[in-house]
Structure 1
Amino acid sequence: MGMKSLPHRRAGQGFPLVLVHGYLGGSAQWEAEIAHFCDRFDVIAPDLPGFGDASDQAGCDRIGDMADRTIGLLDELGVDAFILMGHSMGGMIAQEMAAKSGPRVSRLVLYGTGPLGLMPDRFEPIGVSRERLTSDGVAKTIERIGATWFRKGDASAGFRLIVEIGAKANQQAALAALDAMAGWDGRSALKALEMPTLVVWGHEDRSYRWPQVETLWKNLPNATLSVIPGASHAAHLEKPRLFQAILEDFLSD
Structure 2
Amino acid sequence: MLRTDTGELPGDHPYASAATVGDGSRALVVLPGIGDAMFPGTYPPFSGWTLAPYFARYLDDYAVYLLSRPRGLPAGYDADDAVATHRLALEAIADEHEAIDVVGVSMGGLIGQELARRRPDLVDRLVLADSGYRIDEDARPTVRRLEYYAREHDWASLRSALAVAMFSDSRAIAYPLTLQTVGRFVQPRPADPADVWRSLEFALEFDGRDRLAEIERPTLVFGGGRDPIFPPPIARETAALIPDGTVSLAPGAKHAAFHERKVTFDSRVRSFLER
TM-score by length of 1: 0.83
* Residues 55-204 of structure 1: pairs in structure 2 closer than 5 A: 57-60=71-74, 61-77=77-93, 78=95, 81-117=99-135, 119-122=136-139, 124-152=141-169, 154=171, 167-168=189-190, 170-204=192-226
TM-aligned CA deviation for residue 241 of structure 1: 1.2
Aligned pair in 2 of structure 1 residues 158, 45: CA closer, same or farther (>3 Å)?
farther
> 1:230 corresponds to which residue?
252
Q: Distance in 1 between matches of 2:173 and 2:121?
A: 39
Q: Which has the larger Rg?
A: 2
Q: Distance between the aligned counterparts of 1:213 and 1:228, measured in 2?
A: 12
CA displacement, residues 84-121 of structure 1 (integer Å, 9 cap, x when unaligned): 1101111000001111202331111111111125x312
1:104 is paired with a residue whose SS is: coil
Alignment root-mean-square deviation, CA:
2.9
Q: Which runs of 5+ in 1 are unaligned?
A: 50-56
Partner of 2:32: 21
Q: How big is the shift at 1:201?
A: 0.8
Q: Distance in 2 between matches of 1:96 and 1:229?
A: 28
How much does 1:195 deviate? 1.4
1:239 and 2:261 matched = yes
Offset at residue 33 of structure 1 (A): 4.1
* One-letter amino acid of the counterpart of residue 107, structure 2: M
Shift of 1:136: 4.9
Q: Report if aligned partners of 1:137, 1:171 keep a CA contact under 8 Å in 2.
A: no
TM, length-normalised to structure 2: 0.77
Could you tell me how far apart the structure 2 residues matched to 1:157 and 1:169 are?
26
**1:80 Cα offset (Å):** 6.6
Q: Residue 165 of structure 1: CA displacement?
A: 8.1
1:52 corresponds to which residue?
A: none
CA distance in 1 between partners of 2:51 and 2:255 (Å): 14
* Greater Cα offset, 84-93 or 223-232: 223-232
Percent identity over the alignment is 24
Larger displacement relative to structure 2 (85-94 or 16-25): 16-25
